[in-house]
């Protein structure tokens, strides 16, 4: 069954929908015939995306939402159900990046990133899972982790650990739905190179040449070789519609990274720098 056949006429709620992958998923969902609820802290961004979607003939509403606030997530769910009825698909996508050595990243930056990237996904999943279970109807929850959930990288510790946490939570949530024999599909989304603003928006320790070079390198990589957010959104929604737990924008890359991760764990190897990090160290 195609994504259109699966989702047309349903309602999608997407957090972090003001830009990047969230915006791409929202726009593609609308093109499939879904009503879309756009959640983000950036009012201007989601209002513009909603305006574009509504102008195309689909239906969208913007709901300013801070995913670190559980009450705000409850209000998001209320807005979605009050406006469109049952929610078919909840995509917990909101997330941020930061660059810096672990001990140099400010306390408040650590706390903000973990609250958005981890608590936002956990509580968003819990809130929509409860409502979907109460309805007894089929539903979909997709949590956006990263290919980084299968790896490690110096000076990206907050982001990497948050994505490992999202993947682990999503695996557990999948098993819980199996125990309940619930008609709720759970998917873990592991994007690889997607041309978004994530590194452009990421705060960095400007005093460190190593850190700044890494940020520039990562930003250049996703800008030059990354797929567009809408291409990513199409691939992601196709994977969810197909019933996949593992959903990737770059399946071959993800499979190779997963294979290397499995080998590393099976052999209990020592952590090692990836090639791009070695280049930065040599230049430092």
| SS3 category, 63 | strand
3-state secondary structure 100-148: CCCCCCCHHHHHHHHHHHHHHHHHHHHHHHHHHHHHCCCEEEEEECCHH
d(CA 9, CA 76): 20
Asked whether 33 and 8 are in contact (CB, 8 A), the reply is: yes
Of 151, 239, 234, nearest to 187 by C-alpha is 239
The beta-carbon contacts of 159-165 under 8 Å, at least 24 apart in sequence, are 159/96, 159/97, 159/98, 159/113, 159/117, 162/95, 162/113, 162/114, 162/117, 162/118, 163/95, 163/117, 165/117, 165/118
d(CA 115, CA 112): 5
- Respond yes or no: is residue 174 known to be catalytic: no
Of 178, 89, 73, 175, nearest to 126 by C-alpha is 73
Of residues 81, 159, 174, 264, which has the active-site annotation? 159
| SS3 category, 62 | strand
Question: Which residues have a catalytic role annotated?
Answer: 159
């Amino acid at each position: 069954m195609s994504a259109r056949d699966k989702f047309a006429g349903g309602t999608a709620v997407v957090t972090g929908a003001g830009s990047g992958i969230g915006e791409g998923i929202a726009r593609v969902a609308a093109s499939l015939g879904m009503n879309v609820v756009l959640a983000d802290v950036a009012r201007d961004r989601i209002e513009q995306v909603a305006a574009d979607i509504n102008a195309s003939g689909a239906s969208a509403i913007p709901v300013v939402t801070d995913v670190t606030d559980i009450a705000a997530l409850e209000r998001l769910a209320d807005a979605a159900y009050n406006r469109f009825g049952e929610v078919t698909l909840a995509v917990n996508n909101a997330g941020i990046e930061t660059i810096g050595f672990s001990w140099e990243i400010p306390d408040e930056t650590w706390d903000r990133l973990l609250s958005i990237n981890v608590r936002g996904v956990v509580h968003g999943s819990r809130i929509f899972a409860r409502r979907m279970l109460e309805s007894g109807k089929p539903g979909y929850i997709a949590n956006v982790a990263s290919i980084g959930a299968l790896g490690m990288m110096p000076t990206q510790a907050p982001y990497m650990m948050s994505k490992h946490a999202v993947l682990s939570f999503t695996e557990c949530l999948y098993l819980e739905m199996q125990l309940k024999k619930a008609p709720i599909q759970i998917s873990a989304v592991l994007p690889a190179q997607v041309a978004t603003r994530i590194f452009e928006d990421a705060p960095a320790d400007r005093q460190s040449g190593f850190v700044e070079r890494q940020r520039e390198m990562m930003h250049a990589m996703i800008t030059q070789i990354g797929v567009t957010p809408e291409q990513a959104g199409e691939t992601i929604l196709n994977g969810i519609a197909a019933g996949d737990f593992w959903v990737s924008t770059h399946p071959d890359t993800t499979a190779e990274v997963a294979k290397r991760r499995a080998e590393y764990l099976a052999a209990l190897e020592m952590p090692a720098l990836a090639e791009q990090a070695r280049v930065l160290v040599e230049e430092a």
